[in-house]
Structure 1
Amino acid sequence: MKIKYLLMLICLVFLNACSKDDNEEASILETPVANPAKDINDNGFKAKWNYVSNSKSYLLDVSASEDFATFIPNYNAKEVTDLNEVVVGLTGGTQYFYRVRAKSDTQISDYSNVISIVTTGSSGIPEDPAFLKVKVNQLANPFFVGMAIKASQLTNGSPYDVILKNEFSSISAEYEMKMDQISTASGVYNWTTADKIVAYGNANNINVHGHALVWHNAVPQWLKDFSGTDAEFAAEVKKYITVVVTHYAGKVKSWDVVNEAVDDNGGTMRNTIFLQRMGPNYVKDCFQWARNAAIAAGDTSLLLFYNDYATSTNIAKQDKVFSIVDDLKTSNVIDGLGFQMHNTYLSPTKAQIETDLKRAVAKGLKIHVSELDIQVNQFNDISSFTNERRLAQKEKYKEMVKIYNSLPAANKYALTIWGMKDNESWIPYSTELNHPGNDWPLLYDSNFAVKSSHTGFLEGLN
């Protein structure tokens, strides 16, 4: 009896051992979690990751591209038995990416999350010196490359002038063609500055985009104080639009007729003086007056745009803008939509931008990315323009240009950068934007030197 019992016990132990081995072999390795790199220097960094139960080693990939299309030599599934690895032989001032997998005999886990690193120092690789408009004009379906300018920058031979003539095929007045700059009293107009801007564009074969006929932040004081009836107020706005469009007929190729008419909250109309005194149809009235003036002046090719901001992330606002567009389309008075794109290096996402622009494509509108700049210090968490933010900004400009360049030819109009030099941008210390500190949002630094963002723009055209 004892012998029989011992035999049964031995069999049970053997079966349990076999079952345990089988279960261990059949268990799926967990996916490791990669941690932010440590000890970053000019030539490398320390990659780190969390322990995975039952793993015997880890496979480390390091690449200069986020999709790991290529690998750094010796770092393509490099087998590591520890929970970290010192990566060496890299280039300074360059962005790299790493990921890991767990391994146990023949089993290999899924890839971990991807970690981005920027090595310290400088890569020593110069920025691409190609001129923007030259490369754009070589595309199968080119578009205008625009720049927001001030009349004071247009002195012949100045650094602004040289860059504008070499790089840009369109200009928009940053502020000097708005209503409070041109209209000094009812029926009285100051054309001096606006005429200088338009003449500069016309003389140098640079497209001129008019910005903007009606904007609630550019109402002249005399119109704010206007004591006539609402009908008389509307007549003053009509007269202004008619006179300005007529004055620049054939010289200004496109106009933002109404700017920022939609509120940021709730997808409603912004409560401006124009809404208060002209009613909810004022946008359509302004477009109709602009169209009528152009036709009367013989300018049948003038393009009319509605322009607004933050529609890629604010869906209620986006919906309201497109409801206005539908109404304008029904009346056949709108040609295009301006997307300001005062973006950050984190937002909007590629998918959000594409969704926004595709709605305009579906409606047959021309698309103007009208006021592009990309903040890198919106949280005021850096005191200098770091390599990490430099490369992140480069990628965001590249992404935006790539999205725009992929639009159908019929929907492309212009992609306009909102200012030339970082130190002259409206963004740093902006109370309107609630931006508490410095920033570096543009394509040129304070010395007119091209930045990595400029190279990113060029790479987006590839």
Structure 2
Amino acid sequence: MKSKFLLMLISVVFFLNACSKDDNDAAEILETPVANAPKDVNDNGFKAKWNYVSHSKSYLLDVSTSEDFTTILPNYNSKEVTDLNEVVTGLTGGTQYYYRVRAKTEAQISDYSNVISVVTTGSNGIPEDPTFLKIKVNKLANPFFVGMAIKASQLTNGTPYDVILRNEFSSISAEYEMKMDQISTASGVYNWTVADKIVAYGNTNNINVHGHALVWHNAVPQWLKDFSGTDAEFAAEVKKYITDVVTHYAGKVKSWDVVNEAVDDNGGAMRNTIFLQRMGPNYVKDCFQWARNAAIAAGDTSLLLFYNDYATSTNIAKQDKVFAILEDLKTAKVIDGVGFQMHNTYLSPTKAQIETDLNRAVAKGLKIHVSELDIQVNQFNDISNFTNERRLAQKAKYKEMVKIYNALPAANKYALTIWGMKDNESWIPYSTELNHPGNDWPLLYDSNFAVKSSHTGFLEGLD
């Protein structure tokens, strides 16, 4: 009996010791460290920092020039550090770097921490790539138009605008001067002067002309706003305008945004415009049908018709409504493509959001026009000058956008259009419409017509 009791006692003690050991082992599993913002950033380096992890004996630091750490600096490939910071040296000025850490004991290594981005001060001294955009695009297996939004006043021969346009771009869109309130002065009365100058410039210089836009709620001429006839007579006026404009530019304008921004930002409803109010929910399809009929009647059977809108990558309710409209237009055989404006920021939309949006159009067999691309870097008005960090972030975002577009099937590519030439002439800085109170630098050229890192990013996106 004593022997049995002693055996049981030994078993209990062994069990308790085993549980205690398991508990200790569990308690000593390394947590993942948290990396912090860098300190003492200068031309040649910075101090990387991270939080303490219980039971860790040291930390393994990686420093890279790529966010996915495919290229790790030789001296900082799992560099073992016993402190909670490390001064990283020997770097290049004005360059984007990334760092992450892992905790380590004799037997364990934790998961990777969060990734921290840092841009060294100064300049990297590497000049921007001077290659002309359309030259590189035209060498692709499946090229597309490289476009820019323009004003007629920029089209004087020999000006910097003119030289850059002819060297770099293969397509133009009028920023404002081909909209309804600029052309239509009264029922059946038109001022073609400015729009004709834009179209003639494109045709003379073998540059594609994209018409923007036949119907937009923010470009309704006053006479049509005040129109006192019946709704049917109102619709007849819109039909007449679309017919006359498409006919006037038949064979000269290769594509049109027929309707611009017909979907509201809230809830995925139709935008409550004068066209919806007076023409009903089928007005978009009616406008496309009138444009198609006019082109055919004028012998322009190759005219491409687009629907154009913004913020569909992040606003899913709006995206769904837009694609419902596109499906209706596709069924009616009156649409060729869709314009995604892409007034983006250096933070948003994400790559996945953009790809999802564009791939829905691919699935419908539509041509895709990234129609109004610019990338804000100061949407929160938190910087007063164009910093190296934002410069490189913008470059990366342009590269990402071009890479996404270039990966589309050949049949779905049409054009990628930048919304303006120079930062200081963009619509974004100090925009009350955008609630953008401060300055910004959203384009490919600075105020002195010099190419920026964003231009280099565009080129790199074609690789």
Q: TM-score range by the shorter chain?
A: over 0.9
Aligned residue number for residue 10 of structure 1: 10
What fraction of aligned residue pairs are identical, expressed as a percent? 91
User: Cα distance, 1:22 vs. partner?
Assistant: 9.4
Q: SS of the counterpart of 2:4? A: helix
Q: What secondary structure does 1:17 align onto?
A: helix
The alpha-carbon deviation at position 4 of structure 1 amounts to 16
C-alpha contact 2:395 2:456 (8 A) present in aligned 1: yes
Aligned length: 462
What is the deviation of 1:21? 9.2
Distance 2:355 2:70 in 1: 24
Question: Which aligned pairs between 1:325-404 and structure 2 lie closer than 5 A?
Answer: 325-404=326-405
Q: In 2, distance between residues paired with 1:432 and 1:271? A: 18
CA apart distance, 1:113: 0.8
Cα drift, residue 279 of structure 1: 0.9
Distance change >3 Å, CA 8–CA 162, structure 1 → 2: same
How much does 1:32 deviate?
A: 0.9
State the SS of the aligned residue for 2:26.
helix
Give the Cα–Cα distance (whole angstroms) in 1 for the partners of residues 69 and 193 of structure 2. Answer: 56
**Closer, same or farther in 2 for the Cα pair 1:7/1:367, shift >3 Å?**
closer
Shift of 1:24: 3.8
Could you tell me how far 1:2 is from its partner in structure 2? 17
Q: SS at the partner of 1:337?
A: strand
The alpha-carbon deviation at position 71 of structure 1 amounts to: 1.6
Q: Provide the C-alpha distance between the structure 2 equivalents of 1:17 and 1:369, rounded to a whole number of angstroms.
A: 64
1:4-59 Cα distance to aligned partner (Å, 9 max, x none): 99999999999959964994499432111111111111110111111111111111
In 1, Cα distance between the equivalents of 2:22 and 2:431? 65
C-alpha displacement of 1:72: 1.4
Cα deviation 1:188-236 (Å, max 9, x = unaligned): 1111100000000001110000000001111111111111111111111
The answer for unaligned runs of 5 or more in structure 2 is: none
Give matches, 1:63-74, under 5 Å.
Answer: 63-74=64-75
2:374 alignment partner, SS class: strand
Deviations 1:213-270, CA, capped at 9 Å, x for gaps: 0011111111111111111111111111001001100000000000011111111111
Counterpart Cα distance in 2 of 1:427 and 1:345: 14
Matches within 5 A, 1:297-316: 297-316=298-317
Q: Report the CA distance between 1:106 and its aligned residue.
A: 3.1
Would the alpha carbon gap of residues 10 and 79 (structure 1) be closer, same or farther in structure 2, given more than 3 Å must change?
farther
Distance 1:26 1:224, change over 3 A: closer
In the alignment, the residues of structure 1 paired with residue 258 and residue 154 of structure 2 have an alpha-carbon distance, to the nearest angstrom, of 25
Q: Is structure 2 residue 223 aligned with structure 1 residue 206?
A: no
CA distance in 2 between counterparts of 1:289 and 1:213 reads 11
Q: Please state how far the C-alpha of 1:376 moved relative to its aligned partner.
A: 0.6
Structure 1 244/22 Cα, relative in aligned 2: closer, same or farther at 3 Å? closer
The CA distance in 2 between the partners of 1:9 and 1:366, in whole Å, is 80
Which digits, 9 at most, give the CA deviation of each residue in 1:295-325, with x for residues without a partner? 0010000000000011111111111111111
**Equivalent residue runs for 1:45-64 within 5 Å:** 45-64=46-65
Q: What is the CA distance between 1:73 and its match in structure 2?
A: 2.4
- CA-to-partner distance for each residue in 1:108-153, whole Å, 9 max, x for gaps? 1111111100001111111111111111111111100000000000
Report Cα offsets for 1:53-84 as digits up to 9, x if no partner.
11111111111111111221211111111111
8 Å CA contact 2:28, 2:55 repeated in 1: no
Change (3 A) 1:5 1:133: same
Q: Measure the CA separation in 2 of the matches of 1:345 and 1:243.
A: 41
TM-score normalized by the length of structure 2: 0.96
| Secondary structure at the counterpart of residue 31 of structure 1 | coil
CA distance in 2, matches of 1:405, 1:28: 46
Give the Cα separation in 2 of the matches to 1:235 and 1:11.
96
Q: Give CA-to-partner distance per residue, 1:160-212, whole Å, 9 cap, x none.
A: 00000110000000000001111111111111100000000001110000000
Change (3 A) 1:301 1:314: same
Q: Given the two structures, how large is their TM-score scaled by the length of structure 1?
A: 0.96
Q: 1:3 to 1:346 in 2, by over 3 A?
A: same
- Take 1:318 and 1:8, find their aligned partners in 2: how far apart are those partners? 70
Cα separation, 1, equivalents of 2:110 and 2:329 = 55
Instruction: Indicate whether 1:435 and 2:436 are aligned.
Output: yes
**Structure 1 residues 19 and 221 mapped into 2: Cα distance closer, same or farther (>3 Å)?**
closer
Inter-partner Cα distance in structure 1 for 2:232 and 2:120: 64
CA shift digits 1:373-410 (9 cap, x unpaired): 00111111100001111111111111111111111110
CA distance in 1: counterparts of 2:179 and 2:7, whole angstroms = 98
Would you say the 8 A contact 2:63–2:72 is kept in 1? yes
Q: Distance in 2 between matches of 1:4 and 1:360?
A: 78
Q: Secondary structure at the match of 1:66?
A: coil
SS at match of 1:263: coil
- Rate the CA distance shift 1:317–1:21 in 2: closer, same or farther, 3 A: closer
Tell me, what secondary structure is at the counterpart of 2:371? strand
Which deviates more from structure 2 when the two are superposed, residues 5-14 or residues 386-395? Answer: 5-14
- Which sits farther off after the overlay, 1-10 or 449-458? 1-10
Shift of 1:351: 0.9
Q: 1:191 to 1:53 in 2, by over 3 A?
A: same
TM-superposed CA distance for 1:155, in Å, is 0.5
Alpha-carbon distance in 2 for matches of 1:370, 1:178: 15
Give the aligned CA root-mean-square deviation in angstroms: 2.5
Conserved? CA contact 2:369–2:415, under 8 Å: yes
Q: Alignment partner of 1:108: what SS?
A: coil
Determine if contact 2:377/2:442 at 8 Å carries over to the other structure: yes
DSSP-derived class of the 2:361 partner: helix
2-structure distance, mates of 1:315, 1:4: 71
Q: Distance in 1 between matches of 2:400 and 2:85?
A: 32
Offset, 1:330: 1.0
Distance 1:329 1:9 in 2: 81
